[in-house]
Chain A
Amino acid sequence: SAVISQKPSRDICQRGTSLTIQCQVDSQVTMMFWYRQQPGQSLTLIATANQGSEATYESGFVIDKFPISRPNLTFSTLTVSNMSPEDSSIYLCSVEVHSSEQYFGPGTRLTVT
């Protein structure tokens, strides 16, 4: 498995502002992912964070709204830009340990007012 931490754990932000979420893992991993979990809903993949290259975004998610950095094999950031109340969600990072087996961080609970 892997130990994953996220910062901040929660935040309340005003619309129009941006928030950067950090994800740190205790070992080097090739694959890191960012998910969104809207209140009471399932998990939706936002993007795959690629080390050394641009992130790969899923349909419905764009780089201008959710820029992602992956400077090394243990760290990634997700920024939620120009926020609106519809962005209120839990944002989760995960890492693949081997062969599709993914472990999740504790999540960042974002409320946009």
Chain B
Amino acid sequence: GENVEQHPSTLSVQEGDSAVIKCTYSDSASNYFPWYKQELGKGPQLIIDIRSNVGEKKDQRIAVTLNKTAKHFSLHITETQPEDSAVYFCAASSGNEKLTFGTGTRLTIIP
């Protein structure tokens, strides 16, 4: 089955700087890669996703890049703000509707 690794497990950045979280996946058949943000006491919120037919997708301060050859994808957050502090999860799906999640990254934005 699919295996998703996520790094780093914790990340602290100064407010206004950029943050990058990386994930690798094992199943070359995977074609859908979402990113979720989970705030304390809440369910995961889908913030951005990418499918295997594109290499990059942007939504305001958030972007995701995909390298199918290397089987890795990354989340980029620019101009970080205190409200970006949360746990971020990557996931991968091979089209069978099931998501396999990474282990999570706790992002802390330092004011």
Flag if A42 contacts B99 (CB, 8 Å): no
Contact of A100 among B36, B43, B89, B99 (CB under 8 A): B99
Flag if A100 contacts B44 (CB, 8 Å): no
Contact of B32 among A43, A100, A104 (CB under 8 A): A100
Quick one: given A100-B95, A101-B49, A102-B34, are A42 and B101 in contact (CB under 8 Å)?
A: yes
Residues 74-109 of A contacting B (Cβ, < 8 Å): 92, 96, 99-107, 109
Flag if A43 contacts B42 (CB, 8 Å): no
Q: How many A residues touch the partner, as a band? A: 20 to 34
Flag if A43 contacts B34 (CB, 8 Å): no
**Complex CA distance for A43 and B89, rounded to whole angstroms:** 9
Flag if A42 contacts B103 (CB, 8 Å): yes
Flag if B89 contacts A42 (CB, 8 Å): yes
Q: Which residues of A contact B36 (CB under 8 A)?
A: 104
**Complex CA distance for A84 and B72, rounded to whole angstroms:** 38
Distance to closest chain B CB from A79 (angstroms): 20
A24 at interface, CB cutoff 8 A: no
B46 at interface, CB cutoff 8 A: yes
Flag if A101 contacts B101 (CB, 8 Å): no
Q: Which residues of A contact B41 (CB under 8 A)?
A: 109
Flag if A48 contacts B97 (CB, 8 Å): yes
**Complex CA distance for A31 and B93, rounded to whole angstroms:** 14
Using a CB–CB distance below 8 Å, which chain A residues touch chain B? 1, 4, 31, 33, 41-45, 48, 92, 96, 99-107, 109
